[in-house]
Structure 1
Amino acid sequence: MTLQKATFAGGCFWCMVKPFDQWDGVHQVISGYTGGKVINPTYEQVKKGNTGHYEAVEITYDDAIIDYNTILDLYWKQIDPTDDGGQFQDRGEQYRAAIFYHTKEQWGLAEASKEELATSGRFSKPIVTEIKPATPFYPAEEYHQDFYKKNKEEYEEDRAKSGRDEFIEDNWE
């Protein structure tokens, strides 16, 4: 078994865990922070938007069961790749969408998938999701982990008012 890591930012990390967590070959999805300048930031620091971090998920997966291209496809279908001011109801730098690559191969696959999406005609606006080298990933506080399982009602309420599901339905299904 060869475990790999994939790191994605797509707005509120609560909404980014469940779509990946349910696939064979995915061993773990951790909510956390990446891309910033503060070591071991807290949720309160990141939420203020001045640490440079993104709310993100780090996915550990077995590439013999699920490959990076499949994970990229799942990722694109969770976000609005044309929005550089955040995602859905969550606004600010900490909620922007980004792909953080861990290897040169991931970088190439991410760039190719972004280009394919940009030329697909699916969106009339440009694809602005950044592709950046992975930086240290800091797991979020325990109460954020597996939020959709531990706080089902709050998760479903937050997701329902975010506009994410309507966007996915209108643009991806």
Structure 2
Amino acid sequence: MIIKKAIATIAAASLIIAPLSANVGDSMDRFMDDMGGAANVTGPTAFEGQSAGYYSLGNVWTRFPQKTTNIANLQLPSAKAGCGGIDIFAGSFSFINASEIVAMLKAVANNAVGFAFSLAIDTVCPECSKIMQEFSQKAQLMNNLNINSCEMAQGLVGG
């Protein structure tokens, strides 16, 4: 009986000593690597500088590669002649291969993720989307309220 209690105590202590942790950043990196994208996740931070206090609520940054592909390309024949000589081009035609079509379809699917996220917010909570847009506009206006010491001095001295 004492041995069972000792084993149970050791097992419980080992669970406390080795806590489980979920690393969201690594999981996000693996997910983005599989999709051909890149991601960065940071948590909230606070920093006191010499002239101001800085607070960040964290961020999630994702990027997906964009691809532009010509399905086909046609160059018509042409001829130019002059004092310097004659140029004749017989024309050309090209088209993409199957692997390039597959790569293009993957890029389309990857780029749809960001658009789908925005559309999901608009659909699930249109009021939230509207509020986020309003806050974004107000933050932009607030960020444009810069004070330039030179301009202020010119206004004071010139006035």
Interval of TM-score (by shorter of Structure 1 and Structure 2): under 0.3
More helix by proportion, 1 or 2?
2
Task: Between the two structures, name the one with larger relative contact order (CA 8 Å, sep ≥ 6).
Answer: 1
Q: TM-score, normalised by structure 2?
A: 0.26
TM-score normalised over the length of structure 1: 0.24
